[in-house]
Structures are given as structure tokens and as C-alpha cells.
Amino acid sequence: MQRFADHFKSATAAALLALVFAINAYANPTLEHIDGLPTAADNDVALSGDGKWFAWAYENDSVPWLTMVNLETGVQTTLDLELTTGFVGWDFPQTVHPDMNHDGSLIAVIADRSPGGGFYDDLAMVVNAAGAEVARLTGPDEYGDNAWFDKPIFLDASGRYVTFTTNATKLQPVIYGDTKSWSSSLEGWESAFRLDIQTGEIKLVAIKPGGAELKDYTYASGISDGGRFVLFESSASNLPGANGERQVYLRDMDSTAASAITLVSVDETGTPISRLACCSTESDISDDGSRVIYTEHPRTTFLWARDTESSALTGSATKLTAVTNEDEISISGNGRWLSAEYEAFSRLNIETGSKYPLPDDGSGSPASLDEPKISKNGEVIIFWNSAITKPDGEVGHWWLLRYDPIPGPIEIAVTETVPVSDSSAHLRGIILPFDETISVSDEVLVMPPLSIAVAESVGVSDNIVIKVGPTLADTIDLTLPPGPLLPGMIFTAKAGGFKPFTAVEAFLQSVPVKVGEEMADADGNVSFQITIPADFPPGDHTLILVGQEPDGSERRLTAAIRIDPPDTIFKDGFE
């Protein structure tokens, strides 16, 4: 706080703070019909993460037709993927479960290489929005080993990574036209894998401690943006928390340690759930891999939150009492919103519990959502419903819900006098009109910089208390050698808040002696290795760092430092 006192020379000073938060008005969403999809089944569509694109894989036992719908303009384009990819002899024979990346530029599908003749899903394909082939996975025919792919298939938000389930022991990946080969010793177990489209690398998801292959049934269930965290389901006996029933696991793909896989499907006490509901993948993951939803048989849904402050793959579960059915559940990419089949709400705010109403079916009754899919920001939901009254002349049963965009950060300026000291003070006076989660930023604070903290969530009419106090932005972080600090010794000094890429000088004084000069990095941080001059006098001194503020004015930081006499020695580790 030395610079604060130097500038203001008083016991108190006015500090201007900006509290940043979002308020949601819980209004009815807007309902729109997606026209022109007369036979689109409930498992054959995908929604892009940004909520702007809708993809429909038309199962017809004949031609792999993919329809792309721009949800902002309504323009539809139907692609014959045999023509656009140049790969012939395949179709969509049954439910496809396609997936899209965030901006809708890539679509992943499972398909059949025996058109019109069966339901053998032996092809995984990734195409771009124009239908051109990006990646293709098949079993190499020359080995008589066509792969079988289970559904669904999942693309990460960036479009670089794909996670899928197959029983193949050999695959012939084709990545941007480059044919590769891959094999494993899994002996036909259906297993979850991750494909890196950029490199062509295929990695097994479920492993034993140390990285050895886990030979058991595992099923891909989701993937985080960037591909680091892969969600899968398994009843394997040698996975953490196994109880012989299907459970949900999360794998850190950057690690092969014993802790690289953690059991996610636990209850609020950390005990593994009895088993998952239903019979297919019943879990979903947010884009950052920090939140997972899953349903315990028969109808109890949980939210598992990863401890993002810990380097270990750990977390805890919360029961979502607002969700009462075991059917399809979709979590938004940002992990904040949830939509579920056959519930009494269309969208749930996971953090506050606030529910948004269902749309009207045209007769004054609420319309349920079948197979809902929600965008990353939670502002768009697509769903299937055959009971809602359609506009005259339109066909198909797919619908779109639009929610008003969540307001951007609202800055509220609060001016109050706070003591100049190293102790904390408080600012009061903000009252919210709605229950909401509050985030506070100190990046907009004026001189002097202060740190602020606030409760993560508050209720209607709660008075928000902002705690203020000094931050590291106005201090020098010293790392001193053990024992006496003597002339000739070296210590480390670090600080921040300087104008990026400008020189910062270091001085020791009572009589100033320049002991270093370094360049601030792109974030305004600087680090010194300072050697105390051999002839520097012992006693209490001051280390001074002098540079520029981001606005070009002088920035001066100080720290007290004691230099011991040269004849000071250790005795049993103490002076």
C-alpha cells in the first residue's frame, strides 16, 4: 500500500469500484417451426454449439443425404454425401445420432457400407458443411475385418477431436485424403476411442493404471472442447468404484497415471450410484469438461462438478431435484443450462434452479420436449413434437426455442470511502431484483487497485457485500535465500502492473544503487535475479522497482529488505 499512501497522503481515499453481474428476466421463449423436414426422426439431427445450424441425416436405406438448415435465415441445403465426398456405397440405414462442432463447420455421422441391405454400422465419417470428406474410419477390407461402430459419435467444439465406440481391432483412417492404419489387441471388445483429426492419432480412452489397454466394454458419451476430457460409460470390474453396473467415468487424455480416470456417477455422499437409467448413453458433459449430468435408475438426476482448482481429477455431485424423468437430458456447452425430455420446464438454470416455461402447443396447453438439444450459450433449444399446431402449409415436427440473450455484464459504479491500510473494508448497497449468480471483476478498478470478493450466488433483495483490500498488483514478491541475507548473495524479485514491453529498473537504497534492469512481458510482469553488491552496507534498506504504468506515467514499487553483516554465520541452522 506504499504507493497508495505516496499518492494520496491521507488516512482515507475514495475508491471507485465496478460490480459486474448479469440479470435474467425469466420470460417465455419464442417458438419457431423448422419447416421442410417431413420424416426427420428424433435421433437423426444435431445442433451446432452456437445454435445457428441444424443438421439432419436422412435415413432412407439408399442415399446418404444430409440436410443443413441455417436457423437464422431458414435456408436449407441438402447434400448427397456420396457425391460430395467421392466415397460411394453407403447410406444412413437407421438412427444416426450425428454431432456438430461449435460453428457447424463439421458434422460427424455413423453410417452403413451396405446400402439397402442391412444395419451394419461400419463407417464413421466427418464432413464439412459443404459435404466434403474430412475424416473417414472403416475396417480394412483386405483383412476381412469391417469395423462395427456403436452410436452416438461426438465432436469436440473445435472440431479437432472425435470420440466414438467400435469393436474394431484394425482401422483404416483416411484423414484429409491421407490413408493411415491402426490396430489394437482389444480382441473385439466394444471400446471408446478418441481420434485427433489433425494428426490422425487414435487413442484408447479406458486404460489401466500406467496406460495399458483396458479390455472390456466402454462406450463414448461425450468430449470436452480441446479433447482433453472424454466421458465414457462402462460396467468394467477394474475401473474405479465399479459395482458390476454401468457407470459414468471421466478420462484425462493428457495423463496415463492411475488418477487419469475418475468415477463421475456418484451420489451426494460420493457413493457410486446403483446404476444408470435406461440402456444407452445417459450422460452429457460441458465444453470445458467441468460439469457432467447423469441419471440414476430409475429417475434421479445428478450434476457432477469437477474441482477446477485442483490438479487432481476430483469433484462432487449434487442432486437435481427439478429433473424428474429418466429420459434425454442435454447440458449447454457453458455448463449453466439444462434441457430435458418430458419435464414441466423448457430450460433450467443449473446454478439458480430457475425454470423457464414450456411452449404453448396452440391449444393453450404446454408442449413437451422430445429429444431436446441445447446450444452452448443456452439460448437455443431444438426439439421434436408432433402435437404442436404447425403453420399452414408447413411440414415436419422439429421446433426451435429461442431465449432472449442473457444481458452482457452490467457495470454498476459504487463510490465509497475506504481506509488506507492493509486490512479489508466493505462496500455495501447493491440490491438484486432477481436471484442470480454474481461475478465480480477487479480489472475495471481505478487507482488504487483493490481486490474484491463476493458470494457466488445471492437471492432477491439480498444486500451484496464487496470486500476490498490491497492486491499483489502493488507489491513486490521477494524470494530470499535461507538464513542471513549477506552482500554477494542473490535473491528473486517479481512484480506486475507495468506497461508491457517497457524497461523496469531495480534499485537498492538508502543511497540508491542500481542492481538490475529487465523488460516487462506482454502481461506487464517482470522478474529480477538481484545480486547484492559485495560492498553494500548492512542494515535496513529498500528495494525499489521503477517503470511505467500502462498509461505511460511512472510506476514505482517498494519493499523493505534487511542486509546482514558479512560476518553473520549459521549455528545449527539459526543465526
Q: Which CATH number fits the domain that encloses residue 532?
A: 2.60.40.230
Residues 435 and 511 in one domain: no
What residues contact 382, with CB distance under 8 A and at least 6 apart? 34, 45, 47, 54, 372, 373, 398, 399, 400, 401
- Positive/negative CA dihedral, 3, 9, 15, 16: negative
Instruction: Tell me the pTM.
Output: 0.68
Does one domain contain both 491 and 552? yes
Task: Please tell me whether residues 461 and 494 are part of one structural domain.
Answer: no
Block mean pLDDT (10 aa), the chain, length 575: 26 34 51 83 83 88 87 92 90 81 94 65 90 89 64 92 91 88 81 93 86 87 95 91 92 88 95 82 86 90 90 91 82 92 91 87 88 92 92 92 65 38 41 42 34 43 44 71 88 89 89 89 90 89 89 84 74 38
pLDDT of residue 148: 83
Q: Which three cell numbers stand for residue 507?
A: 534499485
Instruction: Judge if 488 and 552 occupy the same domain.
Output: yes
Measured CA to CA, the distance from residue 438 to residue 425 in angstroms comes to 20
Residue 178 to residue 201: CA distance in whole angstroms: 13
DSSP state of 2: H
Q: Please, are residues 436 and 449 in contact by the beta-carbon 8 Å criterion?
A: no
Cis peptide before 481 (omega within 30 of 0): no
Residue of 383, 357, 355, 349 lying closest to 369 (CA atoms): 383
pLDDT at 31: 93
Whether residues 542 and 530 fall in one domain: yes
The x, y and z cell numbers of residue 149, run together, are 461402430
Q: Is 53 contained in some domain?
A: no
For cell 490422425, the residue is 200
Q: Which of 453, 472, 491 marks a domain boundary?
A: 472
Q: Kindly state whether residues 420 and 460 are assigned to the same domain.
A: yes
Count of domains observed in the chain: 2
Give the side-chain half-sphere CA count within 13 A for 502: 18
Q: Is there a domain that residue 17 lies in?
A: yes
Question: Does 490 lie in the same domain as 456?
Answer: no
DSSP letter assigned to residue 269: T
* Long-range contacts from 4-8, C-beta under 8 angstroms, 24+ separation: 4/420, 4/448, 4/470, 4/474, 5/420, 6/556, 7/447, 7/448, 8/420
What is the model's pLDDT at position 28? 64
- Ranges of beta strands (E only) in 375-489 are 380-384, 398-402, 410-419, 425-431, 436-437, 450-453, 457-458, 463-470, 477-479
Domain-located, residue 387? no
Angle at 375 between CA 373 and CA 381, to 5 degrees: 50
Cβ count within 10 A of residue 343 = 22
Quote the domain boundaries for residue 490: 476-563
